[in-house]
Structure 1
């Protein structure tokens, strides 16, 4: 059945509350005939009479009174739903589920979203910190932070570039004082690296040599970790050279506990995107989170990118 089940309801309720079809028509900005026909079709659809009409007055039948009571409650619920949506547009509320890489999410994304949650008390924040690729639909995620190019992204995914992750070769002042500061990619052969390892595979460094050509360099090493904060600690202790994101070591570079070396050789920058599912009506809680992350994270990604070599 394709008939709109709400057709005629407003005319019926107005006719009851106004006391006449003529006054109901005036309130609805319709003709009396249009109101009468609308209620007649409603009676036909329901299979019962709603009004007893005479030339002087109209009264509700028993079925009409019962139906009116239900209609009033139903319209009140619809009004409440519309009011809730209006309130949500003004004050974001409900669950916001955001996924981000573990360390970047904890250090850079979480502080921004915690401020957002404090600003809007009805907003429920859920964060999933993981370095794997997240499926927004299967895992019911509203927003996801992703690094790198978005290969084979689904057609229903919308992505907004937030900036670029800049990598820097760095070491401690003590290490450089003891072993010297390398000036070219070739001079790295005489140094030890502190490497990030993914599973059983060491991650080599893509670096630009003096001609600007990209080379893949695997450093001599004794230390390998799958945690970037541990690598930072080892490098600050003088264990060797590491290649690390500026957003992680920006404060250390500024304070001098780490020194950036060979910035021109640090390799390609890595795009950072914010992605969400395409929809005609984006909830206000998602929209405002997109806006605040797009406003705040670019400056976070730029931290330390202007550091000069020792």
Structure 2
């Protein structure tokens, strides 16, 4: 049994829409005007609707024709995007890409992956900036950015998840030997805590209750530092308990230089995304690089693969 070709006549239809007349569309398609008219008639018969309003001097889309035209435009854009992506996967990555990374996470985990990608694709030129400032991809001419935390909705941006940053309570074994292990989050008020902040302003520590609801806890510490690596240094020196990202402390937990505190308590996690502009002229190359990054971060992040802690 023969099934009708759903794409038959669509190319002719779109050419008529763009040209605004059967005559000009016929010239562009190297067809006769009657051939164009017959193709449109067959398409209208297959769809069961009239696509154009025709007079001797004027040609315009019907409401059904406008809806069909909009759908065809979206479908063509998707096909072009798929074609560009397949082509990019087959071809050597080439040209310049500007990438922005968060300072500590970017340097420790994303930059090594980007350097591997650059080594595999010598024609790819990477311009990498490391900053914790929230950059504007358009104003700062950034092709790809890695962001940690909730994303703002944007019709002009595309995002791909790369995992979740999880917070971990840790302390040096010597500190816990001297002061004991806290048994509940409230016990942290009686411990020396190393907090993130300066000028007397500190960020609360966020935990989750049994229903997954956020439970912020304000702790007052002996040390307030405004850099995560500085907090890690203080914890390694035995100055108290800290709440740090799992990717920052994983190797130290594995080596026994740090121990988990309240491991049964759930902490708040933050999504990690690769974000880029919705621009088909750039997105094929960018998405290919994002796919290569995803291969290194998913389904399990590299810090867990290298530093499994029970």
Q: Deviations over 1:157-195 (max 9, x none)?
A: 011111111110000100000000012112112101111
Q: Deviations over 1:230-272 (max 9, x none)?
A: 1111101110000001111100011110011113324211111
Q: Sort the Cα spacing of 1:267 and 1:221 in 2 relative to 1 into closer, same or farther, 3 A.
A: same
What does residue 100 of structure 1 align with? 101
Which structure 1 residue ranges, 4+ long, deviate > 6 Å from structure 2?
Answer: none
Q: How many residues align?
A: 226
Q: Deviations over 1:120-165 (max 9, x none)?
A: 11111111111121111111111111111112x3201011111111
Match of 2:177, SS state, is: helix
* Larger CA Rg, structure 1 vs 2: 1
Equivalent residues in 2 for 1:124-203 (5 A)?
A: 124-151=125-152, 153-197=153-197, 201-203=201-203
- Between 1:219-228 and 1:234-243, the stretch displaced more is 219-228
Separation in structure 2 between the aligned mates of residue 140 and residue 250 of structure 1, nearest angstrom: 34
Match of 1:263, SS state, is: coil
Tell me if 1:111 matches 2:143.
no
**1:196/1:203 contact within 8 Å kept:** yes
Q: TM-score, normalised by structure 2?
A: 0.66
Match of 1:108, SS state, is: helix
Unaligned runs of 5+ in 1: 4-29, 31-85
What does residue 288 of structure 1 align with? 288
**2:195/2:220 contact within 8 Å kept:** no
**1:185/1:209 contact within 8 Å kept:** no
Separation in structure 2 between the aligned mates of residue 208 and residue 289 of structure 1, nearest angstrom: 35
**1:184/1:210 contact within 8 Å kept:** no
**1:158/1:277 contact within 8 Å kept:** yes
* C-alpha RMSD over aligned residues: 2.8
Unaligned runs of 5+ in 2: 1-18, 20-29, 31-86
What does residue 224 of structure 2 align with? 224
**2:88/2:285 contact within 8 Å kept:** no
